[in-house]
């Protein structure tokens, strides 16, 4: 980049022509700034972790704001360092977060119970009852399942509910005053009517009827946020919101804010997977595969979430709560061993070196098994988890097989759901595009994912920017020059020339994964015994 180009970008940022997206992920809150060409110009992040308190996975709301402020401050610092200007004015802004979960507030905007995240698997009864009531899959993570379970549990707070939302919706509300939700995120709260692009009113009535006579003053539709599709304006950054986001006091209020979205929707955007027959897989702390469907599914499948793209097209999602957490823990242990031996190895080098060993392994991991259930796994029927590693005396126990087993098992629950779509329902997908931490060692991530899905896997040059970039693109779409341009066309234009060649599934790897996959499902009996006997 020459000096004139850099000067032009600096001036555009200073003049408020850039857009910002902030996503609250499970381990990192990230902020990304994009310019006219929609490519990232600067970024900032803040690390955080969920806590399990009284058996509930949660994040404190104070830390939400510490993290949002920290990521924005880091972004502003990066802008100053790279472009020599202070970040004061924006063209558009957007927020996204971990999908699903339950945040309930009373009429005075007080939080009624601690934030219940997507990771909690204690709503099994509610999930089953609502799936039967609606004849529509209602996963345990969905906000409406949390609400119904609270009713079933006789929780006192339910009668005082005035508003329920998700993490992204909460942040958006506090910064704009608007109780709105992007349709993709909304579809993980309550079923969507694809014709009206709003919550399904028939099902809202069924839910109200189910709880008739219990003394609740609210109606379902009244306590849910307003649903908006991509391209709509969902509010404006208030003066209070600007001060909350940027305590430095430099950010100018009044910025247009796009509908808040979930990480599933921003993942679709960040991988150009919003058109029919496209798919993406987001793999990190959790893992989910998503395919944009050509039609409604023939049957109700509890394993499959039916959600939507940010512009309201139907998507089938196979979601697993557990992906990288267990092998991250093993990486930490192996890193400690290296350090104890007197070597100073950076975390990226540790990961790259050890993960690459998996490519030297036996295709089926040499007969060994790991199950990385740090938390419960709805896809296979577990409300809690016990990470475990098992081998027989005859297993080929070596480092390559050890590493490969942890990568394979991270994808087995997701594959269980994906088989429902591709095998039982005959859903076609031409290519899957990957993003998330699983693909940091690109060659390893693509090869392992291709083996697990039996589908070509591509990643994008911008895959590392993830959902924060996706919500920044959604904010940019809201203020696009051509108001008639539809969303898939807008996103396709952004990605011209940036999608790398797909890695084709290797026959031996696919067969090896399938062998491991059978071993994994047999080994779930060991997992159940571990939960029953290991505290």
Residues 79-107 have pLDDT tens digits of 999 999 999 999 999 999 999 999 999 99
pLDDT at 223: 98
d(CA 111, CA 104): 6
Which pair of tokens denotes residue 317?
A: 């999602």
Q: Could you tell me the end-to-end alpha-carbon distance of the chain, in angstroms, rounded to an integer?
A: 58
pLDDT at 230: 97
For Cα atoms 488, 490, 492, give the angle at the middle one, nearest 5 degrees. Answer: 65
pLDDT at 192: 96
CA-to-CA separations, 330 to 46, 284, 308, 495, in angstroms, rounded: 23, 15, 35, 36
Q: Which residues contact 74 (CB under 8 A, 6 or more apart)?
A: 31, 43, 44, 45, 46
d(CA 214, CA 159): 9
Position of tokens 């399904």?
Answer: 200
Pairing of strands 28-34, 19-24: antiparallel
The answer to whether residue 224 scores a pLDDT higher than 80 is: yes
CA-to-CA separations, 346 to 60, 230, 281, 324, in angstroms, rounded: 31, 41, 27, 19
Selection from 285, 358, 314 nearest residue 193 by Cα: 314
Q: Is-contact 199 205, C-beta < 8 A?
A: no
Pairing of strands 180-182, 226-228: parallel
d(CA 218, CA 160): 9
Q: Which has the minimum average pLDDT: 236-240, 292-296, 383-387?
A: 292-296
- Return the bridge partners of 334, or none: none
**Residue 403's pLDDT band (cuts 50, 70, 90):** very high
Position of tokens 């970040």?
Answer: 87
Complete DSSP assignment for 353-382: HHHHHGGGS-TTGGG-EEE--SS-BGGGTB
Eight-class DSSP state of 503: B
Which pair of tokens denotes residue 140?
A: 């345990």
Eight-class DSSP state of 44: E
d(CA 305, CA 332): 33
pLDDT at 462: 59
**Residue 392 burial by CB count (10 A; 0-12/13-18/19+): exposed, middle or buried?**
exposed
Which pair of tokens denotes residue 244?
A: 């909350």
Which pair of tokens denotes residue 238?
A: 């208030």
Q: Is-contact 471 23, C-beta < 8 A?
A: yes
- The rounded Cα 325 to chain-centroid distance in angstroms is 15
Selection from 438, 436, 472, 467 nearest residue 23 by Cα: 467
Position of tokens 């959790």?
Answer: 286
**Residue 498's pLDDT band (cuts 50, 70, 90):** low
The answer to whether residue 155 scores a pLDDT higher than 80 is: yes
Q: Which has the minimum average pLDDT: 115-124, 260-269, 277-286, 455-464?
A: 455-464
Residues 322-333 have pLDDT tens digits of 999 999 999 999
Where do the domains of the chain lie, and which CATH numbers do they carry?
1-98+167-178+233-271+465-500 (3.30.420.40), 100-165+190-223 (3.30.420.40), 273-459+505-535 (3.30.420.40)
The answer to whether residue 465 scores a pLDDT higher than 70 is: no
Q: Which residues contact 534 (CB under 8 A, 6 or more apart)?
A: 386
Residues 247-262 have pLDDT tens digits of 999 999 999 999 999 9
Q: Is-contact 260 185, C-beta < 8 A?
A: yes
Q: Is-contact 476 38, C-beta < 8 A?
A: yes
- Return the bridge partners of 377, or none: 382
**Residue 435's pLDDT band (cuts 50, 70, 90):** confident
pLDDT at 330: 97
Which pair of tokens denotes residue 20?
A: 């910002």
Q: Is-contact 181 143, C-beta < 8 A?
A: no
């Amino acid at each position: 980049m020459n000096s004139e180009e850099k000067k032009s970008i600096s001036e555009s940022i200073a003049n408020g022509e850039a857009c910002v997206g902030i996503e609250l992920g499970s381990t990192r809150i990230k902020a990304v700034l994009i310019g006219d060409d929609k490519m990232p110009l600067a970024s900032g992040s803040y690390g955080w972790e969920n806590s399990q308190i009284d058996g509930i996975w949660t994040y404190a709301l104070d830390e939400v704001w510490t993290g949002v402020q920290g990521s924005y401050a880091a972004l502003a610092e990066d802008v100053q360092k790279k472009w020599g200007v202070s970040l004061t004015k924006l063209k558009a802004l957007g927020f996204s977060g971990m999908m699903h979960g339950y945040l309930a507030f009373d009429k005075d905007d007080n939080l009624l119970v601690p934030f219940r995240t997507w990771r909690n698997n204690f709503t099994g009864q509610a999930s089953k009852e609502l799936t039967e009531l609606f004849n529509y899959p209602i996963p345990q993570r969905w906000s409406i399942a949390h609400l119904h379970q609270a009713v079933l549990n006789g929780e006192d707070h339910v009668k005082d509910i005035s508003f329920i939302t998700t993490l992204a919706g909460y942040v958006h509300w506090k910064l704009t005053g608007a109780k709105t939700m992007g349709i993709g995120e909304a579809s993980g709260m309550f079923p969507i009517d694809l014709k009206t692009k709003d919550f399904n009113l028939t099902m809202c009535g069924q839910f109200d009827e189910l709880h008739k006579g219990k003394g609740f003053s609210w109606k379902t539709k009244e306590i849910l946020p307003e649903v908006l599709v991509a391209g709509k304006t969902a509010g404006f950054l208030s003066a209070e919101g600007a001060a909350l986001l940027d305590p430095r006091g430099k950010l100018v209020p009044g910025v247009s804010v796009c509908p808040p979205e979930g990480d599933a929707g921003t993942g679709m955007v960040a991988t150009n997977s919003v058109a029919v027959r496209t798919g993406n897989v987001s793999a990190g702390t959790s893992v989910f595969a998503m395919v944009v469907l050509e039609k409604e599914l023939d049957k109700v499948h509890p394993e499959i979430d039916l959600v939507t793209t940010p512009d309201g097209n139907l998507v089938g999602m196979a979601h697993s709560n557990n992906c990288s957490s267990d092998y991250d823990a093993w990486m930490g242990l192996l890193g400690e061993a290296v350090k104890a031996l007197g070597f100073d190895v950076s975390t990226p080098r540790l990961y790259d070196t050890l993960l690459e060993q998996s490519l030297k392994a036996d295709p089926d991991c040499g007969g060994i098994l790991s199950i990385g259930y740090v938390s419960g796994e709805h896809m296979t029927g577990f409300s809690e988890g016990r990470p475990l590693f098992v081998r027989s005396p005859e297993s080929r126990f070596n480092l390559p097989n050890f590493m490969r087993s942890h990568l394979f098992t991270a994808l087995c629950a997701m594959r269980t759901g994906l088989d429902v779509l591709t095998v039982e329902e005959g859903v076609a997908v031409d290519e899957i595009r990957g993003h998330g931490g699983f693909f940091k060692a690109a060659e390893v991530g693509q090869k392992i994912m291709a083996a697990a899905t039996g589908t070509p896997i591509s990643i994008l040059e911008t895959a590392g920017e993830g959902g924060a970039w996706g919500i920044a693109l959604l904010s940019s779409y809201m203020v696009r020059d051509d108001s008639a341009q539809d969303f898939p066309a807008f996103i396709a234009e952004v990605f011209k020339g940036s999608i790398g060649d797909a890695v084709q599934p290797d026959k031996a790897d696919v067969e090896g994964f399938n062998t491991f996959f059978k071993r994994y499902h047999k080994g779930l009996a060991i997992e159940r015994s571990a939960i029953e006997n290991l505290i």
